[in-house]
Structure formats: C-alpha cells, structure tokens
Chain A
Amino acid sequence: PHLRTFGDDFHTCIVEGAWPLIHNKYLSVQVTNTPVLPGSSATATSKLTIIFKNFQECVDQKTYHAETNELPAAFADGSRNGGERHGGAALRVLEKVPGQHVEIQARYIGTTMVVRQVGRYLTFAVRMPEEVARAAEDGDNHDLYLCLHGCPLSQRIDFRTFRQRAAGGRAPAGRPGSGDQLGSPPHTFTYQSAVAKCKERLLVEDLYFQSCVFDLLTSGDVSFSLAAYYAFEDVKMLHSNKDKYHLFEKAVGLGGAPSRSP
C-alpha cells in the first residue's frame, strides 16, 4: 500500500500481515494487508480495526471493524455513537455511501477518519490534531506506528526503480518464481496505458498519480486507479494545508519522499 504519514512523507510499502497505523492514548488503528495476487509481495488492505479508548465523561470504549465486503455503518456493538454519557455524541459513525464510504467523527479528540472500500480493498485517511497524534502512552516507544514513522526501510518498495524499468519497456512485474518481488498481474497494463488510465482522474503527475500507475502495473486491477483518486479526494477534505495537497518525488530516496514544489 501507499502511505502518507503525519509528516507528509510518502512511502510505498510491502507491510504484509497486521500492522499498526496509529497507537496512542486515545485510539489504536490496525490494518491487515494481504497479497493482491498469489505469490506477490504487492499487498493491499483487507481488514481494518479502530479502537476508540474510553475517554473521561465523553465516550465508552468503542471498536470499529471493517473487512473486504463488510464496511459497516456502526461500531462492533451495533451502536453509532460513543455511548450514553453526556458527551456520547462526540463520537459517531456516519455512512456516506453504503458499503463504500464511512466517516467517523471523534470530536472529543478533534479527529475525523474516512474508511472506504474501493474495489476489493480498504483505504484509510485521518485528520487529527498534532497533540493527539503524538500523545504516546507511557512507556511506549511507538517505533512501528506507520502513520507516525512511516514504513520501516526493510518494508519499502523502490518506487523510482520500478517506474524506470516499467517506462523502459521491461516487464514491470515479474512472473512468480522469476525472482522478482511483485508477482504477475492478471491484466497487463503497459506503462503508457497505465499512465493514460491514471490521467483520466488524476490531472497532476504527483505521487498519487505515480502510485496509481504503480498499482495498475503491479496488480492489473483498474480499481486501484480509483483508490488513488479517492485517497487524494480525502487529502483535499482532511489536510489542513492546501499547499501540501500534492506531493512530489525528491531527487533521491526510497519510495518517493515529498518535496515542496514540483
């Protein structure tokens, strides 16, 4: 998956299995990523669990759990708010598009989350105050929380090399058993056809555009172009700095880190 961190770093990662995105005093968000093709190390999110911790006079502890083809408009206990305390409505689940788009507002921590199912996989986006994002639990070194620290180096995919190979006409994703990391797509996009497809919705050739091209080449699944598009729509809704909506590659580095200008 592609990750945009709290610090506006952008990584493309393997992170197969269960990984924490956020874990602090107030909430915990964990995803499970599964290979998009058998034998491939290109993965996407098939499960998402969010735990809102019990908070003062406001909300009971609530768990939101989504899986592929099951994007509920309620917490795991069937409720849609934070319970019957005086501030219970400070936490609520809003269904935007049934089965496809859910928004969770946690007003007591100034936080808004968006969970979507696009194609067969889930996407996640969050806006929260810096103070909340960095409110670590006592004694917790929170090294692995992806939103805070990005993907570990060992889990990053070299976006740039991949693209250069693809643009140069070499097969972008090797066949299973060929020794290549990314597996074999069911539908073959050429670099040019992937670029054309992504340009239909993403007009700026930023890292969202590049990730769209990457996803079409590695998976052959056209719905990933929509995932990149909606991820950028969520940025426009949730990011507080309009000048930082678009991210662009730095001259060097793994996974495409941001720069301030194109």
Chain B
Amino acid sequence: CRILKCNSEFWASTSSLGPEEEFCTALRAYHACVRRTARTCRGDLAYHSAQHGIEDLMGQHNCSREGPTTQPRTRSRTPPPPPPPPDSQERSDAPEVCHYERGLPRNAAPPNYTHCGFFGD
C-alpha cells in the first residue's frame, strides 16, 4: 500500500538535514504522503504506526501542521522541475490523491456520479 515508500522517502530526505525548520518541512511532506495512502493502507499496521510516529515527531520537534511541504523527490541535488505549462496534461508524478478515481481502493465499487443543472428563465 505504498506506506513503506513514504517511510523511505522521509528517511532519505532527513538524512542530511540541518535546521529544525527543514525537518518540519520534511515531516509535513511525510504526513502528506502518508495521508495519500489512507484509503489503500486502511488496516495496515505500518500505516497506523507511521501516523503515530508523525504525531510524536511533530510534538518533539515543535512543528506546526501548517506550513511548506517539500516533496522528498525534489530535495535531491537535481533542480526542481519547471511549473506545468497551461493546459498541460496531468503530470505523471502527480500524487494519486489528485486523481479521484485512481485514489480509490482497488477493490472498491466505482463511485456513483450525480448531476445538477441550472438554466433558463
């Protein structure tokens, strides 16, 4: 369910960090990564363990929940990618949470869609 990927990205991103604020930034990114796995990792011990771990680390390092997050992959030595051009297709590295149907659990029934219309006089 990808929780291990979040864990390893977090530990990789914090291996060479200095100031506390950078740690908090990485921690928030870790939190965001874990949150994206919430549907698929429901019931996974590693997922719940990570959630508790993040809470503890937030408290220990006095990190606020709001603030910048940095995707671990952009913390590598390569420069960050350029912003998407207008009307670009969805980026291949976009989080699954940014695609409603892809973010649903694999075995889940397809969502029910509903419609509303407003027109005329």
Interface residues of A (CB under 8 A from B): 1-8, 21-22, 31, 36, 42-45, 55-59, 79-81, 84, 86-90, 92, 94, 107-111, 118, 121, 123-133, 146-147, 211-212, 214-215, 218-219, 221, 224, 227-228, 230-231, 234-235, 238-240
Contact = CB atoms under 8 A, between A and B. Distances in A.
A128 B114 contact: yes
19 contacts: A2-B118, A5-B116, A6-B115, A44-B121, A57-B36, A80-B87, A84-B83, A86-B98, A87-B90, A87-B98, A107-B100, A108-B97, A118-B119, A121-B121, A211-B120, A214-B121, A231-B117, A238-B115, A240-B113
B89 interface: yes
Main secondary structure of the interface of B (DSSP, over half): loop
A87 B95 contact: yes
Contact of A4 (B95, B97, B115): B115
Nearest to A105: B90
Contacts, number: 173
B111 A131 contact: yes
Contacts of B94: 58, 86-87, 89-90
A56 B38 CA distance: 13
Nearest to B89: A89
Nearest to A89: B90
Given A44-B120, A57-B32, A86-B93, A108 B98 contact: yes
B49 interface: no
A58 B35 CA distance: 13
B6 to A, nearest CB: 12
* Interface size band for B: 20 to 34
Listed from nearest, the 4 A-B pairs whose CB atoms lie closest are: A87-B98, A110-B100, A147-B116, A123-B119
B7 interface: no
A56 B120 contact: no
A240 B112 contact: yes
Nearest to A59: B98
Contacts of B113: 110, 127-130, 239-240
Contact of A88 (B84, B116, B119, B121): B84
A26 to B, nearest CB: 10
B119 A227 contact: yes
A59 B98 CA distance: 8
Contact of A56 (B32, B88, B89): B32
Nearest to A108: B98
B85 to A, nearest CB: 9
Contacts of B118: 1-4, 21, 31, 45, 123-125, 146-147
Contacts of A92: 87
B121 to A, nearest CB: 4
B82 to A, nearest CB: 9
Nearest to B114: A6
